[in-house]
């Protein structure tokens, strides 16, 4: 086992299927089976799938770049036209196989380098085989190495403790600053609140001194605190009553009113537009109806945005609204136009019947008045 690899292959061994392999270096054999044409077919297929050369010399950064490029193309969640879950699974499996192969190759290279270093160390001079250990320790080289390791451990522990102490001091300083700022803000709010209360109390006392509260309608009568909801807080109830009396409306109430008005306008527009068209519609009328529906669809988009804003600020979940649909509004308009036509036809028929009845009554009155006139003329002649 001294030289390189020798393959002895004769015609007879080819005939009988026998192969004699003489090896000299095991590490060289492993490298020979790991690279080049002796790479397994599945591994070669993995390199080809990642669009990399199958010589095993690609860097990890290049392998990762190739994997990311293919993942953007074939990942099922990428949204690309070429997304394919099965192909992405194959790409991922190939990526793992290539990484495992490269790690195995790096381990083999590291072992070879260690062997070369040991050999070179054996041939080097003795005083060059040991480090200075930064001048730490005394005694034999092994004792100095152990002492140097202990010094490094102590140094690292001291750095960790210093770092933790600095972090604790910084956190305590930040917390103290926050507490001090909160105390200043709280004291300022208390001062402002007390000043406002004193001002209000002074105004009330001045009004009482002038007699502004003597002619009140409810003077001497008990306050009706729980008229609407006996379970509500009296202060909250009174504040709400004051806001209502002064015309205040919450934002969700205003938004709800705007939604109702916008929906009513859209429905009226659709109903009137469909009622003006015939049934069935002609091609020209159908094009007009489609244009009207397209414009109404844009208005419905704005209305649905208002509905979303309303659902975010409404106080009760049961008061939320659903989106308005163009198909539902179109069906409502078609049914409404059909019902309007029926109502108009019924009104015309009733008007026609009423006029006919009035004519009958007029004819009956003229007939009843003719005999009286004839008798009167006869009496006058006679």
Structure tokens at 264: 């009513």
d(CA 257, CA 310): 10
Q: What is the pLDDT of residue 4?
A: 37
3 state SS for 99-133? HHHHHHHHHHHHHHHHHHHHHHHHHCCHHHCCCCH
The pLDDT-based confidence of 322 (bands split at 50, 70, 90) is very high
Could you count the other beta carbons within 10 Å of the beta carbon of residue 373? 9
Residue 14 has pLDDT above 50, yes or no: no
3 state SS for 282-336? CHHHHHHHHHHHHHHHHHHHHHHHHHHHHHHHCCCHHHCCCCCCHHHHHHHHHHH
Q: What is the pLDDT of residue 301?
A: 94
Write the DSSP symbol of residue 147.
H
d(CA 76, CA 53): 26
**What is the percentage of the chain residues whose pLDDT exceeds 70?**
71
Polymer length in residues for the chain: 382
From 89-93, 197-201, 369-373, the region with the lowest mean pLDDT? 369-373
Contact present, 105 and 56 (Cβ < 8 Å): yes
Instruction: Convert the pLDDT of each residue in 160-176 to its tens digit.
Output: 888 888 887 777 777 76
**Cα–Cα distance list, 13 to 18, 45, 120, 136 (Å):** 5, 31, 42, 65
Q: What are phi and psi of 113, to 5 degrees?
A: -65, -35
Residue 31 has pLDDT above 70, yes or no: no
Contact present, 248 and 282 (Cβ < 8 Å): no
Structure tokens at 169: 């001091």
From 59-68, 205-214, 218-227, 284-293, the region with the lowest mean pLDDT? 218-227
pTM, whole model, 2 decimals?
0.36
Residue 360 has pLDDT above 90, yes or no: no
Structure tokens at 234: 């009296």
Q: What is the pLDDT of residue 294?
A: 92
Instruction: Kindly list the domain boundaries of the chain, sorted by start residue.
Output: 41-108, 239-367
Strands in the chain per DSSP E: 6-8, 20-22
**Cα–Cα distance list, 157 to 149, 152, 160, 161, 246 (Å):** 12, 9, 5, 6, 70
Q: Is the peptide bond before 280 cis (omega within 30 degrees of 0)?
A: yes
Most confident listed range (7-16, 113-122, 178-187, 276-285):
276-285
Most confident listed range (54-63, 90-99, 359-368):
90-99
Write the DSSP symbol of residue 215.
T
Sign of the four-CA dihedral 300, 305, 308, 312:
negative
From 89-98, 133-142, 296-305, 311-320, the region with the lowest mean pLDDT? 133-142
* Domain 41-108, CATH: 1.10.287
Q: What is the pLDDT of residue 12?
A: 37
Residue 288 has pLDDT above 80, yes or no: yes
Q: What is the pLDDT of residue 258?
A: 94
More confident residue, 70 or 374: 70
Q: What is the pLDDT of residue 6?
A: 37
Strand partners, 353: none
Residue 24 has pLDDT above 50, yes or no: no
Q: What is the helix (H) or strand (E) element at residue 96, kind and residue range?
A: helix 85-123
Contact present, 334 and 301 (Cβ < 8 Å): no
Can you list the pairs that 312-316 forms with residues at least 24 positions away whose Cβ atoms lie under 8 Å?
A: 313/251, 313/252, 313/255, 314/252, 314/256, 315/252
Structure tokens at 275: 């009622």
């Amino acid at each position: 086992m001294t030289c390189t690899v020798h393959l002895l292959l004769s015609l007879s061994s080819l005939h009988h299927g026998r192969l004699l392999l003489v090896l000299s270096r095991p590490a060289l054999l492993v490298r020979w089976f790991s690279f080049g044409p002796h790479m397994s077919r599945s591994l070669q297929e993995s390199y080809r799938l990642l669009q990399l050369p199958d010589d095993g010399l690609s860097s990890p950064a290049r392998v990762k770049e190739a994997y990311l490029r293919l993942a953007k193309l074939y990942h099922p969640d990428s949204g690309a036209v070429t997304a394919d879950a099965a192909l992405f699974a194959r790409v991922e499996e190939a990526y793992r196989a290539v990484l495992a192969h490269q790690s195995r190759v790096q381990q083999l290279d590291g072992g070879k380098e260690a062997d070369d270093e040991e050999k070179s160390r054996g041939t080097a001079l003795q005083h060059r085989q040991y480090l200075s250990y930064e001048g730490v320790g005394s005694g034999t080289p092994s004792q100095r190495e152990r002492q140097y390791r202990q010094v490094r451990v102590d140094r690292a522990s001291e750095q960790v403790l210093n770092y933790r102490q600095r972090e604790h001091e910084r956190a305590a300083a930040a917390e103290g600053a926050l507490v001090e700022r909160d105390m200043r803000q709280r004291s300022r709010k208390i001062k402002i609140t007390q000043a406002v209360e004193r001002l209000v109390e002074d105004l009330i006392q001045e009004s009482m001194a002038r007699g502004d509260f003597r002619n009140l309608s409810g003077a001497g009568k008990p306050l009706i605190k729980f008229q609407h909801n006996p379970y509500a807080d009296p202060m909250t109830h009174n504040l709400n009553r004051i806001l209502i009396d002064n015309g205040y409306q919450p934002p969700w109430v205003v938004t709800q009113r705007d939604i109702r008005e916008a929906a009513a306008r859209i429905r009226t527009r659709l109903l009137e537009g469909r009622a003006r068209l015939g049934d069935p519609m002609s091609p020209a009328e159908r094009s007009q109806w489609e244009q009207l529906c397209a414009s109404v669809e844009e208005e419905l988009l704005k209305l649905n945005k208002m509905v979303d804003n309303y659902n975010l600020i409404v106080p009760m979940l049961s008061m939320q609204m659903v989106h308005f649909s163009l198909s539902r509004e179109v069906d409502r308009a078609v049914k409404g136009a059909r019902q309007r036509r029926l109502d108009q036809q019924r009104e015309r028929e009733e008007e026609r019947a009423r006029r006919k009845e009035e004519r009958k009554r007029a004819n009956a009155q003229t007939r009843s008045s003719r005999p009286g006139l004839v008798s009167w003329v006869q009496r006058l002649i006679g």
